[in-house]
C-alpha cells in the first residue's frame, strides 16, 4: 500500500465513522474534522513529494499535477467543510447520515483521483465520484432535485462511458505498438512516440469528451445548470471547485501523452474549439438568466472553457490555466456558499423574487458581489492574473484572433452575469420580503466564505514561491519539459 493512499484513507475513515455515528447533531462535525485531519497528511505528502513520485509502473503516486490537485483540494475542502455544520443545523429536519458520509466519500475519491496514475484507476475513481454525488444532489428530496439527479447521473454516465472507451482506445494504441499492456500514465508518456496515431487521436477525442462531460465543457455541459441549480450550495461549491478540477487534471494527463507523442498541435486545436465554444455558451446562457444558481453553473461552463483555452495556448498559458483552476475553485466556493445563504433566507433563487439582498443580508450579499467580481477576473483577484497570463501566452504565440475572441467573450460574460448579480443584490427588497435577518448573520456561515475570498485575493496579489514552483512544475510536466 502506497503511503499516498493515506490521503484517501483519512477521509474514508471519517466517512465510515460518520456513517456509524448516531447523533444527528454531532455528525456534521465529522466533515470539518476530516478537513482538518487531512491537512497534516497532505502537508507531509507534499513536503516529501520527491519520495512519492510515481515509480515505474506504479498505479499511484504524486506527479506534479496530482500534488497540485491534492493540495488544492485539501484547502478547498478545508474551507468549505466548516460550512457544513451550520448548514446542516438549519436543515435539522432531514437526516444527514448519507449526506455527511457521501460528502466525505466524494472528498476521498477526489483525492484518490489526484494520486491515481493508472488510466483505469482514474476512470474508476471519477465514476465513483459521480455516483457518490447523486445522494448529495438529491438531498432536498423534491421533484426538481430528483430530476436534476437523474439527468446528472445519466449524462455523467454516458460521458464516463465514453471516457472508458477512450481509455480502452489508449490501451489499444499501446498494445498495437507492441508496448505491452501498461496503462500507467508515466509509461504511456515515456513510450508516447511509438503509440499508434489513429488510435491515440480517437482515444484523445473520446477522453476529451468523456472528461469534458465531467468538467462541463459545452456541449456536454447540459447537466450542470440542473445539478448546480438544485444542489445545496456546499455541494455546488465542491462540484464546481473540486470535481471539475479533477476532471481537468485528468484531461491534462491525457493531453500530456498527446504532447509527448508529438501530437500537441492536434490536441490543442480541439481544446481551443471546445474552450471557445464553452466560453460562448456560458456567456450566452448567462444573459438574462433569472435563476442565480443556474447562472453560477453557466459561469462554471465558461470558466472550464478558459481552462482548456489556456491549455490549448500552452506555455505560460498552461501555467495560467492551472492558476485559474485554483482561483476559479475558490471563487466558486465564495459564490456558491454566499448564494446559498441568500437562497436560504429568501426561499427563492430567482431574481423575480430576490432583490435588494445587500439591504437584508449585507454580509452575504457583499461577499456574493465580491465573488462575482473575482470570478469575472477583476484585478487584483487571482483570476485576473491567470487570465492575463493566458492572454499573454496567446499574444506571444501570435494568436491574436484567439486573444481578441477571449477578451470579447470575457466582456460578454461580465455583462451577462453582472446584470443578474446586480439585480439580485441592489435595490429595494420586494414587498413582503423585507424581513431582515433575525440577528446579525451567523458568523459560522460567513467565515468559510471570507476565507475563500481571501485566498482568491491573496493568489492575485502574491503567489507564494512554493506554489509558483508547483504550478510551473505541473505546467512543465504536462508539456513534457522535464
Partner 1 sequence: MSEVLNPLLVLVLLFNFLMLGTSRVAAVINAAAAQGTLLGVAYLAMHGGSGVRALALGLAMIGIKGIAIPRILRGALRSQGIRREVEPFVSFTTSLLLGAVATGLSVLFARTLPLAAGDAEALLVPASLATVLTGFIVLTTRRKALTQVVGYLTLENGIFIFGLTLIEAMPFLVEAGVLLDVLVGVFVMGVVIDHISREFSSIQVDDLTELRE
Partner 2 sequence: MAIVSAALAVAAIALAAVSGLPGLWLARERPAPDRLAASLLGLGAICAASAALLVAAGAPDATLALPWRVLGERVTVGLDGLSAFFLLPIFGIASLGSLYAVGDFPAAAHPRNARRLRVAFGLLASGVGLVVIARHAFAFLAGWELMALACFFSITAEDEREEVRRAGFVYLACTRASTLALTGAFVLLHSASHSFALDGLAQIDPATGRAVFGLALVGFALKAGAMPLHLWLPGAHAMAPSHVSALLSGVMIKVGIYGILRMASLLPPLAAGDGAGILALGAVSAVAGVAFALGQHPLKRLLAYHSIENIGIILMGVGLALLGRSLGNREVELLGIASALLHVWNHALFKALLFFGAGSVIHATGEGELDRLGGLAHRMPATALLFGVGAVAICGLPPLNGFVSELLLYLGLLHTLVEQGGAPRMLAGAAVVALALVGGLAAACFVKAFGVVFLGEPRSAAAARAHESPRSMLAPMAVLALLCVAIGVAPQIAAPSLEAAVRSFDPGLAAAGPGLREVAPFDSISLGAALLLGALAAAAAVAARRVRWPAPRDATWSCGYAEPSPRMQVTASSFADTLVGILRWLLWPEVDAARVAGPFPEPARLDTRLPDPVLDRVALPVARRLAEASTRLRWVQQGHLHAYVLYILIAVVVALLTTRGDLG
Question: What residues have CB less than 8 Å from 354, skipping those under 6 apart?
Answer: 292, 342, 346, 348, 424, 433
> Which residue in 136, 358, 365, 405 binds partner 2 (CB under 8 A)?
358
Sign of CA dihedral 477, 185, 130, 168: positive
Does the footprint of partner 1 cover residue 205 (CB under 8 A)? no
> Which residue in 22, 23, 50, 181 binds partner 1 (CB under 8 A)?
181
Question: What residues have CB less than 8 Å from 40, skipping those under 6 apart?
Answer: none
> Which residue in 196, 299, 328, 420 binds partner 1 (CB under 8 A)?
196
Per-residue mark of binding to partner 1, 139-178 (x: CB under 8 A): ---xxx-xxxxxx-xx--xx--x--xx--xx-xx-xxx--
Query: At closest approach, how far in Å is the CB of 472 from partner 2?
Result: 11
Query: At closest approach, how far in Å is the CB of 248 from partner 1?
Result: 21
C-beta closer to partner 2: residue 5 or 450: 450
Task: Confirm if 84 and 36 have CB atoms less than 8 A apart.
Answer: no
Say which entry of partner 2, partner 1, none residue 467 contacts (CB below 5 to 8 A, set by partner kind): none
Q: Taking the mean position of all CA atoms in its chain, how far away is CA 121?
A: 19
Convert 126-146 into a string of H (helix), E (strand) and C (coil): HHHHHHHHHHHHHHHCCHHHH
Does the footprint of partner 2 cover residue 154 (CB under 8 A)? yes
Question: Which residues 283-312 are close enough to bind partner 1 by CB under 8 A?
Answer: 285
Instruction: Classify each residue of 143-156 as buried b or exposed e, where b means 16 or more C-beta atoms within 10 Å of its C-beta.
Output: eebeebbebbbebb
C-beta closer to partner 2: residue 208 or 235: 208
Q: What is the DSSP letter of 481?
A: -
Cell of 114: 489526484
Say which entry of partner 2, partner 1, none residue 392 contacts (CB below 5 to 8 A, set by partner kind): partner 2
Q: What distance in Å separates the CA atoms of residue 216 and residue 208, rounded to the nearest whole number? A: 11
Residue-by-residue DSSP string for 152-218? HHHHHHHHHHHHHHHHHHHHHHHHHTT-TT--BHHHHHHTGGGS-HHHHHHHHHHHHHHHHHHHT-T
Does the footprint of partner 1 cover residue 456 (CB under 8 A)? no
Helix, strand, coil distribution of the chain in percent, nearest 5: 75, 0, 20
Task: Confirm if 251 and 208 have CB atoms less than 8 A apart.
Answer: yes
Question: What residues have CB less than 8 Å from 321, skipping those under 6 apart?
Answer: 306, 307, 308, 309, 310, 311, 386, 390
Contacts with partner 1 by CB under 8 A: the residue count is 48
Query: At closest approach, how far in Å is the CB of 260 from partner 1?
Result: 18
> Which residue in 2, 58, 140, 202 binds partner 1 (CB under 8 A)?
202
Query: What are the residues binding partner 1 (CB under 8 A)?
Result: 59, 118, 120-121, 123-124, 127-128, 130-131, 134, 138, 142-144, 146-151, 153-154, 157-158, 161, 164-165, 168-169, 171-172, 174-176, 180-183, 196, 198-199, 202, 225-226, 229-230, 285
Query: What are the residues binding partner 2 (CB under 8 A)?
Result: 150-151, 154-155, 158-159, 162, 197-198, 201-202, 204-206, 208-209, 213, 219-220, 222-223, 225, 266, 269-270, 284-285, 287-288, 356, 358-359, 373, 376, 378-380, 384-385, 387-389, 391-392, 395-396, 403-404, 407, 410-411, 414-416, 418-419, 422, 426-428, 461-463, 468
Amino acid at each position: 500500500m502506497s503511503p499516498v493512499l493515506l490521503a484517501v484513507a483519512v477521509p474514508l475513515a471519517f466517512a465510515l465513522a460518520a456513517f456509524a455515528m448516531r447523533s444527528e447533531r454531532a455528525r456534521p462535525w465529522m466533515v470539518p474534522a476530516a478537513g482538518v485531519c487531512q491537512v497534516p497528511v497532505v502537508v507531509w505528502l507534499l513536503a516529501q513529494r520527491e519520495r512519492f513520485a510515481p515509480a515505474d509502473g506504479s498505479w499511484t503516486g504524486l506527479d506534479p499535477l496530482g500534488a497540485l490537485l491534492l493540495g488544492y483540494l485539501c484547502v478547498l475542502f478545508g474551507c468549505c467543510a466548516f460550512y457544513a455544520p451550520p448548514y446542516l443545523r438549519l436543515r435539522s429536519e432531514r437526516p444527514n447520515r448519507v449526506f455527511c458520509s457521501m460528502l466525505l466519500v466524494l472528498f476521498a475519491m477526489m483525492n484518490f483521483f489526484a494520486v491515481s496514475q493508472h488510466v483505469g484507476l482514474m476512470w474508476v475513481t471519477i465514476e465513483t465520484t459521480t455516483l457518490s454525488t447523486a445522494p448529495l444532489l438529491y438531498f432536498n428530496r423534491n421533484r426538481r432535485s430528483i430530476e436534476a439527479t437523474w439527468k446528472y447521473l445519466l449524462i455523467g454516465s454516458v460521458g464516463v462511458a465514453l471516457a472508458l472507451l477512450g481509455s480502452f482506445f489508449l490501451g489499444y494504441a499501446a498494445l498495437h505498438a507492441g508496448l505491452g499492456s501498461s496503462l500507467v500514465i508515466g509509461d504511456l508518456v515515456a513510450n508516447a512516440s511509438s503509440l499508434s496515431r489513429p488510435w491515440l487521436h480517437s482515444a484523445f477525442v473520446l477522453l476529451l469528451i468523456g472528461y469534458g462531460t465531467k468538467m462541463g465543457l459545452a456541449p456536454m455541459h447540459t447537466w450542470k445548470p440542473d445539478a448546480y441549480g438544485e444542489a445545496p450550495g456546499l455541494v455546488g461549491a465542491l462540484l464546481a471547485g473540486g470535481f471539475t478540477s479533477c476532471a481537468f487534471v485528468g484531461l491534462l494527463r491525457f493531453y500530456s501523452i498527446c504532447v509527448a507523442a508529438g501530437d500537441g498541435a492536434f490536441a490543442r486545436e480541439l481544446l481551443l474549439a471546445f474552450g471557445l465554444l464553452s466560453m460562448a455558451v456560458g456567456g450566452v446562457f448567462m444573459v438574462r438568466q433569472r435563476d442565480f444558481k443556474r447562472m453560477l453553473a453557466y459561469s462554471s461552463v465558461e470558466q472550464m472553457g478558459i481552462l482548456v483555452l489556456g491549455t490549448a495556448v500552452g506555455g505560460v498559458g498552461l501555467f495560467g490555466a492551472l492558476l485559474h483552476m485554483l482561483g476559479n475553485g475558490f471563487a466558486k466556493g465564495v459564490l456558491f456558499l454566499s448564494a446559498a445563504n441568500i437562497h436560504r433566507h429568501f426561499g427563492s433563487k430567482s431574481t423575480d423574487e430576490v432583490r435588494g439582498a445587500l439591504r437584508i443580508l449585507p454580509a452575504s450579499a457583499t461577499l456574493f458581489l465580491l465573488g462575482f467580481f473575482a470570478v469575472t477576473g477583476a484585478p487584483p483577484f487571482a483570476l485576473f492574473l491567470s487570465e492575463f497570463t493566458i492572454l499573454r501566452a496567446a499574444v506571444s504565440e501570435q494568436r491574436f484572433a484567439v486573444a481578441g475572441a477571449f477578451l470579447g467573450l470575457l466582456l460578454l460574460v461580465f455583462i451577462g452575469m453582472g446584470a443578474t448579480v446586480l439585480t439580485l443584490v441592489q435595490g429595494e427588497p420586494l414587498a413582503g420580503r423585507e424581513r431582515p435577518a433575525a440577528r446579525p448573520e451567523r458568523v459560522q456561515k460567513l467565515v468559510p466564505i471570507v476565507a475563500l475570498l481571501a485566498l482568491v485575493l491573496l493568489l492575485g496579489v502574491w503567489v507564494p514561491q512554493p506554489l509558483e514552483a508547483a504550478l510551473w512544475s505541473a505546467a512543465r510536466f504536462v508539456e513534457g519539459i522535464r
